[in-house]
Amino acid sequence: MPELAVQKVVVHPLVLLSVVDHFNRIGKVGNQKRVVGVLLGSWQKKVLDVSNSFAVPFDEDDKDDSVWFLDHDYLENMYGMFKKVNARERIVGWYHTGPKLHKNDIAINELMKRYCPNSVLVIIDVKPKDLGLPTEAYISVEEVHDLRQKFSNRVSQSCLEPDGKTHLCDLTPEYSALQHPVPAVCFGSRHEEDGTPTSKTFEHVTSEIGAEEAEEVGVEHLLRDIKDTTVGTLSQRITNQVHGLKGLNSKLLDIRSYLEKVATGKLPINHQIIYQLQDVFNLLPDVSLQEFVKAFYLKTNDQMVVVYLASLIRSVVALHNLINNKIANRDAEKKEGQEKEESKKDRKDDKEKEKEKEKGDSKKEEKKEKK
């Protein structure tokens, strides 16, 4: 198989947000199962950096996959406006919300090749049910149809000529069994082209989520707004552990499915994958050993002691804060009572002074009248 033009696709968070917004605006209103758009970005050697995107009007017939419509005039106009804003971003492929490949994706990809020879398809799952990345990247390749006949018949006969020299065995269907038995195993193969034209198919490409520093800050602010402040740190840690265990379970199921298919002959043996799985299993500890169990219990007990001491300290600190709060409230009540008493005394003094003034004024008036 020829080497792929793309080895890795990096999708930015802005693209994910734009696709989700596109699906919420069009997919739900128009009852469309998927929406289609164009990806913008740049190439760095064999790494594709997808930094932006825009939606494109798209419609298809649910019953007939060959009937579909993509407004390429709208695509060209939008790309012209995006190019005025940022000339570095070029069309690098297209996306749809899948969640899986469709039969007409090859035809749509051929249309997109007018604007980008190495067009990349990125399927973005807007409603992921399983843990993991919501993106899957593909690139189209030409598939050559070959007629291969492999003969893996074990032959326990001689491959030696009468003079003792070895010769090659052509294990064709017409080849008859050899006559001189020796402990040898021979294999033969035949490779012929069937003459049919090549066909287009999609090859999977690794994808990941990447962001620049400015995008990371924006995403953190969004997550901070979405984050539920009523949930404590303990529940968050437990939730994260549950999600992690679910992800581990899904990966183990994938490994089991792969090994079962290899064992039944549905998939060819990939020795590199088998070696890596063997290394993983070799790194697993033997939980049946008494020494391991004892060491695990000791470490767990040490950790639990620390947790117990921390909880005791928190309880003592909380009790201390409660006592301080009660003392502060009592002092505040005393101060408030003293202020009320002082205000009452001041009012009484003011009233007495007013009475004395009134008496003095009345006496002065009486003296004036007598005169």
Strands (E), 83-211: 90-96, 120-124, 135-143, 146-151, 188-193, 199-209
Q: Stretch 61-87: mean pLDDT, rounded?
A: 90
Which residue from 205, 217, 204 is spatially nearest to 13, judged by alpha carbons? 217
User: What's the CATH fold of domain 8-141+201-227?
Assistant: Cytidine Deaminase; domain 2 (3.40.140)
Record the pTM. Answer: 0.56
Alpha helices in 169-289 (DSSP H): 213-226, 233-264, 271-283
Take residue 203 and report the two structure tokens written for it.
Answer: 């090859």
First to last CA, the chain: 134
Alpha helices in the chain (DSSP H): 13-22, 72-85, 105-112, 213-226, 233-264, 271-283, 290-370
Residue-wise pLDDT for 228-246, tens only, equals 555 567 777 888 888 888 8
Residue-wise pLDDT for 76-116, tens only, equals 999 999 999 988 899 999 999 988 899 899 999 999 999 99
Could you tell me which residues come within 8 angstroms of residue 69 by beta carbon, excluding any fewer than 6 positions away?
Answer: 57, 58, 59, 60
Residue-wise pLDDT for 204-218, tens only, equals 999 999 888 888 888
Instruction: Name the β-bridge partners of 248.
Output: none
Domain borders along the chain are 8-141+201-227, 145-197, 229-284, 295-371
